[in-house]
Amino acid sequence: MGLELYLDLLSQPCRAVYIFAKKNRIPFELRTVDLLQGQNHSDEFVQVNPLRKVPALKDGDFTLAESVAILLYLARKYEAPDHWYPQDLQARARVDEYLSWQHTALRMSCTRAMWQKMMFPVFLGQRVPPETLANTLAELDRCLQLLEDKFLKDQDFLAGPHISVADLVAITELMHPVSAGCDIFKSRPKLAAWRQRVEAAVGEDLFREAHAVLMKAKDLPPADTAVKERLKPLAQLFL
């Protein structure tokens, strides 16, 4: 058996892995894991990733969890062009710096914004207090300012003149609030121009393909009682 990628394209890190593999023509078998239906808790999937999270990778007898580890494994094994994860010490350090920061900063604020603005009221039928949403959007705005000032600066991409895995991880995060109707690029022309460059570098067709599931999330039918109960512990993290 060749390379298998266990993904749910509703998940931002899964989209980053998907885009990277497709863009670099890495052959893989897509194994879809529906998070909303709890397929990440199935016995079959737990054998691949006991952490019960996606993305996950299976390469023969070798399994790997965590999106950053998977991206770097693919970059190294398939010898992706250097700009994705540069050999230059300082350029690579810039990529690593962003990947280390985003987990507890941009990732959480983008996820909370999408859930509070769309998934709670539309999918779970649960009201979100206006002050809670306002605080989340304020934190998202703070993170976006840091993204511009600390990482993007006046560069074309986050780690320099060329696209890297840092840009993939960032843009897939930002599409979460976009899918919920947050126009985060409207008042940020520098960030909007960066988004256009990332989409062009990836390819607009591939970018749309990777985000098709997410952009249709607003049309999901309301969750049934069993799904609501299963998602309750996770949902509490996003309030």
Q: For the whole prediction, is pTM greater than 0.75?
A: yes
Give the domain 84-235 fold: Glutathione S-transferase Yfyf (Class Pi); Chain A, domain 2 (1.20.1050)
Predicted local confidence at residue 162, as pLDDT: 97
Per-residue pLDDT reduced to its tens digit, 53-62? 999 999 999 9
22, two tokens? 């497709």
Q: Averaged over 181-198, what is the pLDDT?
A: 97
Q: What share of the chain has pLDDT > 90, as a percent? A: 95
Sequence ranges of the domains in the chain: 1-81, 84-235
pLDDT band at 198, cuts 50/70/90? very high
What integer pLDDT is reported at residue 103 of this predicted model?
A: 86
Extract the tokens encoding 50.
């006991």
| Close Cβ partners of 192 (under 8 Å, ≥ 6 residues apart) | 185, 186
CB 197 within 8 A of CB 170: no
60 token code pair: 């023969």
What pLDDT does residue 235 have?
82
The pLDDT tens digits for 223-238 are: 999 999 988 888 888 9
Kindly report the length of the chain: 239
Q: How far apart are CA 28 and CA 58, in angstroms?
A: 10
pLDDT band at 23 (very low <50, low <70, confident <90, very high): very high
User: What was the pLDDT predicted at 236?
Assistant: 85
The full 3-state SS of the chain, as one line of letters, equals CCEEEEECCCCHHHHHHHHHHHHCCCCCEEEECCCCCCHHHCHHHHHHCCCCCCCEEEECCEEEECHHHHHHHHHHHCCCCHHHCCCCHHHHHHHHHHHHHHCCCHHHHHHHHHHHHHHHHHHCCCCCCHHHHHHHHHHHHHHHHHHHHHHHCCCCECCECCCCHHHHHHHHHHHHHHHCCCCCCCCCHHHHHHHHHHHHHHCHHHHHHHHHHHHCHHHCCCCCHHHHHHHHHHHHCCC
Phi, psi (degrees; rounded to nearest 5) at 57: -125, 140
CATH superfamily membership of 1-81: Glutaredoxin (3.40.30.10)
Locate 119 and state its tokens: 């998934």
Residue 1 pLDDT greater than 80, yes or no: no
Contact present, 83 and 24 (Cβ < 8 Å): no
Q: What does pLDDT average to over the chain?
A: 96
- Reported as a single tens digit per residue, the pLDDT across 89-116 is 999 999 999 999 998 899 999 999 999 9
